[in-house]
Structure 1
């Protein structure tokens, strides 16, 4: 690590998280968070990148991993899961898995790193979803988690005025996660109709690089018809 600002990105082994890491690499030292240590190792071709393998829903492992940090300027929450289904077909286990990763792990990681973020007058970016603004049939558990994540960001922003807190709400994005979603929907995968992960990463970068007098609180991205 150098004297450059330090960014911790969850879900950094692929998709939006990896795209964000690539956009931040020229200006930040990177901690690449994810549960798959092998996948993270393959992403360390980025300059000044260090794998940060941890199971985010394991409270003890998360506490141990964050205790080793000495500086944090930027925290990007990109990890998440989406399990679709009607409300009547969504089991308690699905609700728990979804909320544990999409909400509880976000809250706990932020809580554990708040002293470092406060010291840096830092920035928290939460990669949310269009489902955090509008809930559709079949998306109950996921949308509920993303509405909760939006509320969490709003409260964090109000309670921690020294921090910048940004919610990013993209529409469908060309990622492995989207492939899984389309498989659950039994629909065709049409990447030309989706945002690229890099488009979302550029929105994150714009929020991070905003002038000191500017606080980008919410960004909504939708694919342009093509």
Structure 2
């Protein structure tokens, strides 16, 4: 039976891969991103199962529009993948500004909170799911990654609180690992001055050696989780390839 999902940050990378996986599984998908190009491409290819809005979710007024537009287009909401986020500033605390951190939190935390809060009534009806795309940086620390790591930690804990407060909604946080995306390109381009030299070098070397994941690998797992995550996973954090998620990976 076809379900309805919202995917944020859907115009490229992991979000685009998630959207494609859900479409291929015959679901209806409402896409959100700041750039239109790939969203319109998917809409053109799958006119009856895709709709989208181009907007900056850091503007919290966008959240009600996303929920209203999804329900208007497809009649319900069965799940949300909160995938959007920013890494910048890649700067040590002593050299960063509070405003830079505030902007990162507006995107990585508060926009997610606004969207999920607006969706709760619909998700209660469907006994739906929310998958938050987290990061291993939520549990470790890289020099220069303070705003990103701490905001991803907050996002991960938001998932836990949602699970406690809304037992009918399954909520899971997932780290996709090191994926060949524009964010990794940003690390290579902008991270040299803010990161520890050996850590920066390790990211560059792994890219050169072809060790990064294809977005489709974690994307497929995340798509399967928002479609069918079980209640025993709710409130927990997992790496995309954790043993507990074996049933959600392609054999």
Q: Given the two structures, how large is their TM-score scaled by the length of structure 2?
A: 0.81
Q: Which runs of 5+ in 1 are unaligned?
A: none
Question: Counterpart of 1:20?
Answer: 18
Instruction: Give the superposition deviation at 1:79.
Output: 0.5
Question: Counterpart of 1:82?
Answer: 87
Give the 3-state SS of the residue equivalent to 1:57 in structure 2: coil
CA contact (8 A) 1:13 1:43 kept: no
Instruction: Give the superposition deviation at 1:209.
Output: 4.7
Question: Counterpart of 2:6?
Answer: 8
Cα RMSD for the two superposed structures? 2.0
Question: Counterpart of 1:53?
Answer: 54
Instruction: Give the superposition deviation at 1:183.
Output: 1.1
After superposition, residues 146-185 of structure 1 pair within 5 angstroms as 146-185=152-191
CA distance in 1, matches of 2:43, 2:136: 30
CA distance in 1, matches of 2:209, 2:238: 22
More deviation, 173-182/34-43: 34-43
Question: Counterpart of 1:67?
Answer: 68
CA distance in 2, matches of 1:174, 1:14: 11
Instruction: Give the superposition deviation at 1:200.
Output: 0.8
CA contact (8 A) 1:174 1:191 kept: no
For this pair of structures, how many residues does the alignment match? Answer: 220
Q: Which runs of 5+ in 2 are unaligned?
A: 193-200, 242-251
Give the 3-state SS of the residue equivalent to 2:5 in structure 1: strand
Give 1 or 2: higher helix fraction. 2
Q: 1:210 to 1:120 in 2, by over 3 A?
A: closer
The answer as to 2:221 corresponding to 1:203 is: yes
Give the 3-state SS of the residue equivalent to 1:193 in structure 2: coil
Question: Counterpart of 1:98?
Answer: 104
CA contact (8 A) 1:22 1:46 kept: no
Q: Given the two structures, how large is their TM-score scaled by the length of structure 1?
A: 0.89
4+ runs deviating over 6 angstroms: none
CA distance in 2, matches of 1:140, 1:213: 32
Once the two structures are superposed, residues 81-128 of structure 1 have per-residue CA deviations (whole angstroms, 9 ceiling, x without a partner) of 001111111112210111000000000000011111111000000011
Instruction: Give the superposition deviation at 1:210.
Output: 4.1
Question: Counterpart of 1:119?
Answer: 125
CA distance in 2, matches of 1:200, 1:144: 22
CA distance in 2, matches of 1:74, 1:56: 17
Question: Counterpart of 1:219?
Answer: 238
Question: Counterpart of 1:131?
Answer: 137
Q: 1:191 to 1:27 in 2, by over 3 A?
A: farther
